[in-house]
Structure 1
Amino acid sequence: MVALLVIDDDKTLLNLYHQMLKRQGYRVHTADSGEKGIRMFENGDYALVITDLVMGGMDGNCVADYIRQSEKGVVPIIGISGTPWKAHVRHFDAVMAKPVSMKDLVASIRLLVGCSSEGGAPLGVRQAVQP
């Protein structure tokens, strides 16, 4: 099962992402701050990270920068925000505006991870998505 890490300081949205992505067959771990997300990233093995951009403390740009400098290899990152223009796009594989369509989010995850949530055959070439 493909493991995802979702980071957002809005606990209602975090719960929504968790429920919707779990229904799609993903193993979903959540963090309610950038700092907690980084700790979980360091201690886990995630196929993809989804992060809000604007959060108190460590924001999504800092989270993405940290992940890009990590020795864990290339991990796709999707940034989600009501202010997507604040994303340092060089750090993200995709940036999506809130409110995000779950259908579009799942399509982006499948494209970036390169396989279905059930671990099936590759879906094709990994590329940046900016719906």
Structure 2
Amino acid sequence: MSNRILVADDEPSVLKVVKYYAEKNGYRVDTASDGESALRLFQDATPDLVVLDIMMPGLNGFEVCEAIREVDIRVPVIFLTAKGDLVDKGMGFKLGADDYVTKPFEPEELIMRIGTCLRRRDAFPVERKNPGVIDLGDLSVDLSSKTVVVRGAEVSLTAKEFDLLAFLAQHPTEAISRVRLLQGVWGEDYIGDSGVVAVVVRKVREKVEENPAKPHHLLTEWGYGYRLV
């Protein structure tokens, strides 16, 4: 069965174009013109991927994404943003966004990104015993209670340590750049030393890895960033 996509945008022309190209590529498509309708469709249609315009009447894209993440941490979310808008991408990634596409965009590019997000999700399934809980082997991250359990025992993390681990956990096995981590965890307005990412990664490893010098979960992608497996 083909994947189902929910597209939410207050511009009818965008909905028409995305629906046409997505259906042309074999996807089933539901559309919504505002945030409230998007949430209702998400609950009713249970899509495999969501495309969200950020600036919508009523609930904006960030608010819709936050509501979605309360019940589903795995469905890919792609944000649409108008060129020139001052958008806090750090906030979007922190809420669990998988990608951004800037308007105006080439429909083929959006379809390509949709396919990439779906393949990534299917290639690296994450067991979900409860909504909001990400289980990666002997490492469990509860996004709702902000608790982490490793090998059956709860570990104590600072707020920033948890935010970094949770950000990586929402993109399992994906290599995340240091810049993206800095934006997603500390925010785009952060003006401190970028080396803070490596410092917090080291502290997290000391708490979740059996041997921090030879990590099993929080891996380094040399010259780029980090990956959680």
TM-score (norm 2): 0.49
The one-letter code of the counterpart of 1:75 is V
Alignment partner, residue 56 of structure 1: 57
Question: Of residues 104, 109, 114 in structure 2, which corresponds to 1:109?
Answer: 114
The one-letter code of the counterpart of 1:60 is G
Deviation by residue 1:79-121 (Cα, 9 ceiling, x = unmatched): 0011372342222100111011212211111111118xxxxxx
Whichever of the two has the greater Rg, that structure is 2
TM-score (norm 1): 0.82
Q: Relative to structure 1, is the Cα distance of residues 12 and 67 closer, same or farther in structure 2, using a 3 angstrom cutoff?
A: same
Higher relative contact order (CA 8 A, sep 6+): 1
Cα separation, 2, equivalents of 1:110 and 1:5? 14
Alignment partner, residue 76 of structure 1: 76
Q: Relative to structure 1, is the Cα distance of residues 128 and 64 closer, same or farther in structure 2, using a 3 angstrom cutoff?
A: farther
**Alpha-carbon offset, residue 127 of structure 1:** 4.4
Identity of aligned residues (%): 27
Cα separation, 2, equivalents of 1:22 and 1:45? 17
Cα separation, 1, equivalents of 2:76 and 2:175? 9
Structure 1 consecutive aligned stretches of length 4 or more whose deviation exceeds 6 Å? none
> Does 1:86 pair with 2:91?
no
Assess if the C-alpha contact under 8 Å between 2:31 and 2:38 holds in 1: yes
Assess if the C-alpha contact under 8 Å between 2:17 and 2:107 holds in 1: no
Q: How many residues align?
A: 121
Assess if the C-alpha contact under 8 Å between 1:47 and 1:75 holds in 2: yes
